[in-house]
Structure 1
Amino acid sequence: MSGPLWLTPDDRQDTLPVIPRPRPRWAAADDPMDELAERLRDLIEAAVHPDEIAAILESDGMTDDHIRLTYGRMNSFELAEDLYDRVPRTYPEPALKPGDPWHVALLPCLLRGLVFALPGLAYVLGAPFATGAAPIAVLLAGALTGWAWNQALAHRAYTWLGLGDRPAAARALLTGAPLGALLGTGVAFAAAGAGEGPAVAFASAQALYQAAATVLLVLGRERLLLAALAPMSVGAVVALAYDLPDAARLVLLALSPLAVLVLAGVELLRGVAGTRRAGSSRGPGGPRLVSSLPYGVFGLATGVLVLYAALPSGAGAGAGAEAAPGAVALTLSMGPAEWLLHRFRSGTLSGLRRSSTPGEFRRATAGTLARCLGQYLLVLTVLAAIGTLVWPQAGGFDGVRFLALLLIGTLMWTGLLLQAFGAVQAAAGVCGAAAIAQTLAVLSGADAGVSLAAPGAAALLLAALAYGLLGRATAHRG
């Protein structure tokens, strides 16, 4: 026989063989394209280009032969274009709460802020042992030295933790913390005059506490630190209402720092013991020492500015503690400040998901920045008001002192924000210049208007830098 078997004898000579053809979309039977589009709907809706769908098809094992036989398209790219046209774009936004890497609880941040502020109660207990302007200067010199050193040390240890090497972080703390305590004691001794031995001893204990507290904070032991500070804190509150004997004051002053020192030593010994058990050694890719220097400068500068927040307008360098609520408010506000830094990160992440153009993202970032900074300044205002009520002998905040407090708060929060995004050199440079200018203004006896110029200009500059840098999507990678 000549011709295909399925042809009748009458039509074999003038009929072409039947060739399988793609099923038309209007056919009554189910279209395999519809089934495929429904199965991949979620992925197709989120695709921004047909090539993304083509990649999904190829990863699903679809060959060009299978696509031609099943869907009547030449290859995966042609099939992807058809699917892209069939299914509209919706770009479903993932649930933010479970997928937000910057979501943190408020309570741990508040706890850290409390831990930062409670050591200030030691000055209440130690007031009878350090009177006059000179001993206070000795204590402040030691405290500022420790603040700068431990900021740099904390950065180095946190960098090791970020690299996943906790033993190396413990070794860095084991080496750096004692050196910081010796440096703080040496600076206090150099600033002391004749007959100021008790102030130097207090400053030495202060330096030891700062070093040990840095260890516990970096290693995430805030609750242990808070428990160790409880005796001194309770004693200071009692001393505000009752005149405690000097012996009781000395015991309370020694008890909490010793407890902190022991706890820090235990944590460091555990880290070193873990290093020996694991047989780990420091790799060549660790952080450079010089990379921690800007963090120390930033810590010193902000410490100086917080100190000046405790001075009334136009006061000289030897002013007393009559305006301490401002410094206490700034210290306590560091807990909410840390939480709001995370909220800014979370807000910009949400802005990245919502924005489709660089201009939209920049506007979203500006709104998030203004909202988080405004919330921080509101918290700072409330804390200052509470401090004034609890400490009435310090006097109320007049307009100039209140404005100075808000300016320094703005400078500190925006500086921390830039530091969190890696722009620590800019933050350290601006804050350092502001601290130097403020020191010169106070030492020269400038009035309030002049003394506000440095923190005001620095606050505006840092806010502008934060907007300019963080308004770019590339600043938020990772």
Structure 2
Amino acid sequence: MTVDDQERTAPQTHPVVLPRISADPLDMLVDRMRPALARAVETLQVAAALEADGVTDRIARVEYGFPDVFALAAEVFRRLGPPADDPPAPAATGHGRRQTVRLLLHGPLYALPSAVFPAVLVVVGQRHAILALTLAGVLGWAYAGTVAFAAYKLLGANRPRRAARLLRFSALAAPLLGALAGAVLGRWSLVLLAGGQLTYQLAGTVLMFYRRELWQALAMAPAVVAGVAYLFDDRARDTALIAAGAGVLAAFTAALWCTFKQGSRDELPARLSARGLAGVTAYGILSALLLLHAALPYLSGRLDIAVAVAPLILSMGFVEWRAERFRALAVGLTRTSRRPADFEEHLTRAIGLEILLCAAVPAGLGVVLLAGLRATDPAVFVMVLAHVLLGGAYYVAFLLAGFERFGRLCASLIAALVLHLGAVFLLGRSVTPLTDTVLFTGSVFALLALFLLGLAPSVRQVRHYR
């Protein structure tokens, strides 16, 4: 049997790359590069590998007869054939299921203190309580997001002790920061309220960082029970307030305890990017403003409209879970796609499906809310729709944050805020709740479109998933 006969009868793929007799220098180059490019799905990957191997434009011209490295890469990619098959992914484990449950609980866990808000409103006063909670909410969202981002960066750099120290001192500073925010409003009750709100947000951030969501739920369970009891019996008001304070204190203590005995004392110092920290802080502030500015006009007289944000908050854990699964999804597509165009098509379809899923969950919760409110006002329905769309928008925002495109995130949020507030300003006093909610929904549509435009250049680059 001749060498040519062997080549014709050999299988197309083989777990071991067999040597091939060829006088073509390009075939020799393909064989040499095959182990590094066995799963390449686009010519840019091949070009990058060739340049890393020392192939220049001059070598491409002189030795292989191509005008540049990119033209050479296109031919190498063609001769490589389809990507090599990978072994099947392992089946889901119990740890994977626990991780899913943890992420799904994140939204409801942050919302647990709301069970005692009715009792708080009676004691503090609705107007003042809303102002304090709004101010503390904006600060807490930005502060907790920045601290978590920095801590994960340190943990990724193998600095668990420094991450724990950052979390500990950030949590200790939270009550003071919240108290200062409440002091701006001039009442001691608001100092306690804002301080408690910020303390709980940072405690929750630390407990979630160390995967202690169950501790957080157990700490706040008595407060939730007492808060629900108050809705049926006014005499449970003091019990609800005391249980809430005790729950926040218990969660705070547990969070601090988690930060001790982490890492070793001989850790090397690590530096964090000031630009990245500024970006995530600005993103947190703008995200909070987007939600709060829409609900703020209705907090004093139209709670049925303001509470439309609840389905989104409760479903944020689901959105986070789907976003965490994205990288594994994209890596899987690189292994099954034969051409770059196939990868982009499949990835676009997958992202579209994920957006629909992340909108479907708040939509289902929104239907339950509308039924519970027995709503008939179209403005309530439109406001729920806006937050359903925000579920999909925040999925894309999670992906952008994963690529650290905080500039695009902030620019898109600013554009959405300007679009809504500018339209309301132009219409003046004649804006009805229905008109306002329709305008807000339009700004959310625009936000989703801007997020997708910002995501497109990064998400299609296969190098991110290798």
Q: TM-score, normalising length from structure 1?
A: 0.74
Aligned 8 A contact 1:213 1:264 in 2: yes
CA-to-aligned-CA distance 1:73-95 (integer Å, 9 cap, x gap) = xxxxxxxxxxxxxxx96755324
Cα offset, 1:117, TM superposition: 2.4
Alignment of 1:218-229 (within 5 A): 218-229=209-220
Q: Distance in 2 between matches of 1:356 and 1:55?
A: 18
Query: Are residues 1:470 and 2:452 paired?
Result: no
- The residue that corresponds to 1:242 in the other structure is 233
Aligned 8 A contact 2:392 2:448 in 1: yes
- The residue that corresponds to 2:15 in the other structure is 42
Q: SS at the partner of 1:97?
A: coil
Aligned 8 A contact 1:118 1:229 in 2: yes
CA-to-aligned-CA distance 1:410-435 (integer Å, 9 cap, x gap) = 33221122111221221122124434
CA-to-aligned-CA distance 1:411-470 (integer Å, 9 cap, x gap) = 322112211122122112212443455456667654324444433322211122223431
- The residue that corresponds to 2:384 in the other structure is 402
Q: Distance in 2 between matches of 1:118 and 1:383?
A: 16
Q: Distance in 2 between matches of 1:146 and 1:351?
A: 37
Q: Which one of the candidate residues 176, 179, 182 is aligned to 2:173?
A: 179
- The residue that corresponds to 1:294 in the other structure is 279
Query: Are residues 1:97 and 2:89 paired?
Result: yes
Q: Distance in 2 between matches of 1:116 and 1:470?
A: 30
Q: Distance in 2 between matches of 1:378 and 1:352?
A: 27
Cα offset, 1:175, TM superposition: 2.5
Q: Distance in 1 between matches of 2:376 and 2:141?
A: 25
- The residue that corresponds to 1:252 in the other structure is 243
Q: Which one of the candidate residues 144, 149, 159 is aligned to 1:150?
A: 144
Alignment of 1:305-454 (within 5 A): 305-308=290-293, 310=295, 315=297, 318-392=300-374, 398-435=380-417, 437-438=419-420, 446=431, 447-448=435-436, 449-454=438-443
Q: Distance in 2 between matches of 1:416 and 1:50?
A: 44
Q: Structure 2: give runs of 5+ residues left out of the alignment.
A: 21-25, 36-79
When the two chains are superposed, the root-mean-square deviation of aligned CA atoms in Å is 3.5
Aligned 8 A contact 2:393 2:447 in 1: yes
Aligned 8 A contact 2:140 2:201 in 1: yes
Cα offset, 1:53, TM superposition: 5.3
Rg larger in structure: 1
Alignment of 1:180-219 (within 5 A): 180-190=174-184, 192-193=185-186, 196-219=187-210
Q: Which one of the candidate residues 145, 150, 160 is aligned to 2:154?
A: 160
Aligned 8 A contact 2:146 2:280 in 1: yes
Cα offset, 1:51, TM superposition: 5.2
Code of the residue aligned with 1:459 in structure 2: it is: L
Residues 317 and 261 of structure 1, relative CA distance in 2, 3 Å threshold: closer
Q: SS at the partner of 2:130?
A: helix
- The residue that corresponds to 2:445 in the other structure is 456
Aligned pairs, how many?
403
Q: Which one of the candidate residues 113, 121, 140 is aligned to 1:119?
A: 113
CA-to-aligned-CA distance 1:207-251 (integer Å, 9 cap, x gap) = 221222222122222221122121112222222333233321221
Q: Which one of the candidate residues 274, 280, 301 is aligned to 2:266?
A: 280
CA-to-aligned-CA distance 1:20-57 (integer Å, 9 cap, x gap) = xxxx559xxxx9x89xx79x932249x99765756899
- The residue that corresponds to 1:81 in the other structure is none
Q: Structure 1: give runs of 5+ residues left out of the alignment.
A: 1-23, 58-87
CA-to-aligned-CA distance 1:362-413 (integer Å, 9 cap, x gap) = 2111101100001111111011112333455897865532332233333322
Residues 357 and 257 of structure 1, relative CA distance in 2, 3 Å threshold: same
Aligned 8 A contact 2:146 2:281 in 1: yes
Code of the residue aligned with 2:365 in structure 1: it is: L
Q: Distance in 1 between matches of 2:207 and 2:376?
A: 32
Aligned 8 A contact 1:110 1:336 in 2: yes
Q: Distance in 2 between matches of 1:396 and 1:235?
A: 34
Q: SS at the partner of 2:304?
A: coil
- The residue that corresponds to 1:264 in the other structure is 255
Percent of pairs with identical residues: 22
Code of the residue aligned with 2:14 in structure 1: it is: R
Aligned 8 A contact 2:174 2:195 in 1: no
